[in-house]
Amino acid sequence: MKRIGMLTSGGDCQALNAAMRGVVKSLLNSGQDVEIYGFLNGYKGLIYGDFKMLTGKDFSGILTVGGTILGSSRTPFKTIKDPDENGLNKVEAMKQNYHKLQLDCLVILGGNGTHKTANLLRQEGLNVVTLPKTIDNDLYGTDMTFGFQSAVDIATDCIDCIHTTAASHGRIFIVEVMGHKVGYLTLNAGMAGGADIILIPEIPYDIDKIVDAVKQREKNGSKFTIIAVAEGAISKEDAKLSKKEYQKKLEKRKYPSVSYEVAAQILEKTGQEVRVTVPGHTQRGGSPCPYDRVFASRLGAEAGKLILAGEYGFMVGYRNREIVKVPLEDVAGKLKMLDPESTIIKEAKMLGISFGD
């Protein structure tokens, strides 16, 4: 008998259900007797013993369903060792609930913060296997995370829709794309949607270079410009500031986000109308795309394989088009940034896309 605990932590995304389904189906199809304990709302469920018993039927029909049947929440790693409002030691509570249920393994689906806590639990002696979830694709140790391609599809569709109205009115349109501190989502959606200018955190922008690119398009006969802006995009001036200085500046910024700041600067320098569209959380909602359904299912199946073999302390990742196991200590606390010198950036520039640099 294998007793498996499962939880989904952090922001939700497409294919969480598909990944959990892959884990459970691979275990059940092995002929092994399995008990599944689903912890509700992320690490909170593990801390406070909030769980429900699940069977194979609970994972039937969820391949195409977005979100997570277990619910999710954010439990910041930086406060995980701090007692809760009632003085409860959260780490000890998680360990006690794990042992109380006599679990053989804990399957954790999440992104960067989630993996920090997962590695901590590994260090505390728990058997852990993780799966890489985030639309940002910024998790170290894997070339791809599930949820990313679905988010690219949604952000691309938004840019596609903006194209027609931008062309009709001859305006500059900014589409703000999610992605946290990295530019993978904005770059891919921007290229797929035919954006003329793409601003990402890894390449600090110069507003004058952006204006030059807009004017060059006008000179070439184009009446509109599409700018894809990552939510973490930063100017060259701000990039020179220390982290503390930048945070203080953000607290005083009069604009709701970087996109509105860029729009105001373009208006000031050109006098042209600029419209901002923020698709926001729609990018991580809805049904997973076919790629993510297959990808998450594969990762889940390989996680089941590790559990059956008793190989714990790994994230199931994807490198060079192969599913691999990556030690958790190699993943936790590391951010996978987009390389400004990567071939995809160079190819985008060859296509005439400006990065404002």
Within this chain, do residues 184 and 307 fall inside the same structural domain, yes or no?
A: no
What element of type H or E holds 174? strand 172-177
Distance CA 24, CA 17 (A): 11
- The reported pTM is 0.94
Within this chain, do residues 110 and 15 fall inside the same structural domain, yes or no?
A: yes
Within this chain, do residues 93 and 83 fall inside the same structural domain, yes or no?
A: yes
Distance CA 327, CA 78 (A): 21
Residue 101 counted as domain residue:
yes
Within this chain, do residues 156 and 178 fall inside the same structural domain, yes or no?
A: yes
Tokens 């959606």, residue located = 189
Q: How confident is the model over 277-309, as pLDDT tens digits?
A: 999 999 999 999 999 999 999 999 999 999 999
Residue 354 counted as domain residue:
no
CATH of the domain at 172: 3.40.50.460
pLDDT of 167? 85
Within this chain, do residues 279 and 157 fall inside the same structural domain, yes or no?
A: yes
Within this chain, do residues 102 and 170 fall inside the same structural domain, yes or no?
A: no
Residue 336 counted as domain residue:
no
Within this chain, do residues 125 and 159 fall inside the same structural domain, yes or no?
A: no
From the number of C-beta atoms within 10 Å of its C-beta (0-12, 13-18, 19+), residue 312 rates as middle
Q: Which domain holds residue 244?
A: 149-284
Token digits for 300?
A: 């889940």
What element of type H or E holds 319? strand 314-319
Average pLDDT over residues 164-183: 92
How do beta strands 274-277 and 197-199 pair? Answer: unpaired
84 is catalytic: no
Helices (H), the chain: 16-28, 43-48, 90-100, 112-123, 148-169, 184-193, 207-219, 236-239, 243-252, 258-270, 290-309, 343-350
Overall number of domains in the chain: 2
Q: How confident is the model over 222-248, as pLDDT tens digits?
A: 989 999 999 999 999 988 888 888 888
Distance CA 82, CA 80 (A): 6
Closest to 210 (Cα-Cα) out of 236, 178, 244? 236
Please report, for residues 51, 155, 160, 231, 250, the alpha-carbon distance to residue 342 in angstroms, rounded to integers and kept in the order given. 44, 22, 25, 21, 29
Residue 242 counted as domain residue:
yes
Out of 12, 136, 153, 196, the active site residue is 136
